[in-house]
Amino acid sequence: MEFILPPEFLDTNIDSLQFLIQTDGGWGTAPEIAVYNWNSADWASIEKPIMGLNGISEPALYVNDEGLVRFQISIENQDFRGGNCYYFGLGFKGRL
């Protein structure tokens, strides 16, 4: 999954990133989440993700020069029965 910052925010010094996880099915367990680290060219797991907002430390590692942020979502180890949807969002705070 990819998110792209709006062009007018590409010169922003990003202070924080928050990844939102929601569902319409009432599941209490969040899926496994990893975010792509552009410096190391590797995936970094978000430790103990929760339903709701998940803070991402060191946000500059995860936003490339074009404002792209990449995530991997995995539900392999969950009791997935289908029929419900996850919803994801990305928020950030920064200074121009």
Domain ranges of the chain: 2-95
How many helices (H) and strands (E) the chain has is answered by: 0, 7
pLDDT value of residue 84: 74
pLDDT score at 96: 82
Query: What DSSP state is assigned to residue 8?
Result: G
What confidence score (pLDDT) does residue 71 get?
A: 98
**Residue 60 phi, psi dihedral angles, 5° rounding:** -60, -25
pLDDT of residue 64: 95
In the predicted model, residues of the chain with pLDDT beneath 70 are: 27-28, 76-83
